[in-house]
């Protein structure tokens, strides 16, 4: 059985922004679902579904977060955009590799083990991106937005 790392929701991933935190939990659930499938030897079957879900998630969550960062002129907004692009490239790269591996498997040139190994590698890279991006970049966005909105609230009540 393949042992995979599960991403736990910890203090390190909290951004001080409830909306972002709730959306990030959805990404964690998606990555962990793939991890569970891999543990059960079902990674190859799960990976295909995850590609579509990951891209849909990117369209939904990244747009929300990028608009938020732009609205409050977060200093880290540019880096956030670049890392989001890297996420999309990661998905596209693995989707291509998956198609090639499946074609090889079906033609007798490859194997189901190769597709399963691809799922393990994809899960690892997805986990690394998710943890490091949220803990570093998104956290700064959430904290910045919370600080700005708290200051505005304070100024409004002082008048
Ligand atoms: Fe982000
Ligand atoms: Fe995010």
Q: Rounded distance, CA 116 to CA 12, Å?
A: 30
What is the pLDDT, as a whole number, of residue 106? Answer: 93
CA 141 to ligand 1 center in whole angstroms? 8
- How many domains is the chain partitioned into structurally? 1
Ion ligand 1: residues, CB < 5 A: 65, 80, 138
Range of the domain at 70: 47-151
Which ligand is closest to the CA of 81, given by its number? 1
- Residue 38 resides in a domain: no
Q: Does 8 fall in a domain?
A: no
* Predicted pLDDT at 159: 63
Ligand 2 centroid to 105 CA: how many Å? 35
What pLDDT is recorded for position 82?
98
pLDDT band per the 50, 70, 90 thresholds, residue 152 = confident
Weakest-pLDDT range from 16-20, 66-70, 96-100, 154-158: 154-158
24-79 residue pLDDT tens = 999 999 999 999 999 999 999 999 999 999 999 999 999 999 999 999 999 999 99
Assess contact for 38 and 120: CB atoms under 8 A: yes
- What residue has token string 């890392």? 83
Asked whether 3 and 39 are in contact (CB, 8 A), the reply is yes
Position 136 pLDDT exceeds 70: yes
Report which bound ligand comes closest to the CA of 15. Answer: 2
Domain contains 156: no
Helix residue ranges, H only, 7-138: 18-39, 43-57, 63-71, 77-106, 112-132
Q: From CA 149, how far away is CA 72, in angstroms rounded?
A: 9
Confidence of residue 3 (pLDDT cuts 50, 70, 90): confident
Three-state DSSP at 110 gives coil
pTM (global) more than 0.85: yes
pLDDT band, very low/low/confident/very high, at 102 (cuts 50, 70, 90): very high
104 part of a folded domain: yes
Q: Tokens 């659930």, residue? A: 29
CA 150 to chain centroid, in Å, comes to 28
Is position 4 within any domain?
Answer: no
In a domain, 84, yes or no: yes
The mean predicted confidence, pLDDT, of the chain is: 94
């Amino acid at each position: 059985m393949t042992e995979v790392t599960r991403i736990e929701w910890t203090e390190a991933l909290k951004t001080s922004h409830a909306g972002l935190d709730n959306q990030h939990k959805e990404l964690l659930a998606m990555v962990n679902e793939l991890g569970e499938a891999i543990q059960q030897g079902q990674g190859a079957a799960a990976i295909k579904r995850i590609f579509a879900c990951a891209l849909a998630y990117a369209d939904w969550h990244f747009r929300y977060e990028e608009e938020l960062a732009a609205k409050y002129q977060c200093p880290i907004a540019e880096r956030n955009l670049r890392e989001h692009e890297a996420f999309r490239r990661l998905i596209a790269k693995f989707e291509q590799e998956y198609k090639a591996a499946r074609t090889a498997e079906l033609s007798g040139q490859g194997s189901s083990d190769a597709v399963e190994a691809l799922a393990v590698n994809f899960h690892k890279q997805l986990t690394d991106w998710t943890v490091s991006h949220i803990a570093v970049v998104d956290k700064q966005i959430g904290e910045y937005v919370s600080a700005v909105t708290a200051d505005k609230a304070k100024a409004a009540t002082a008048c």
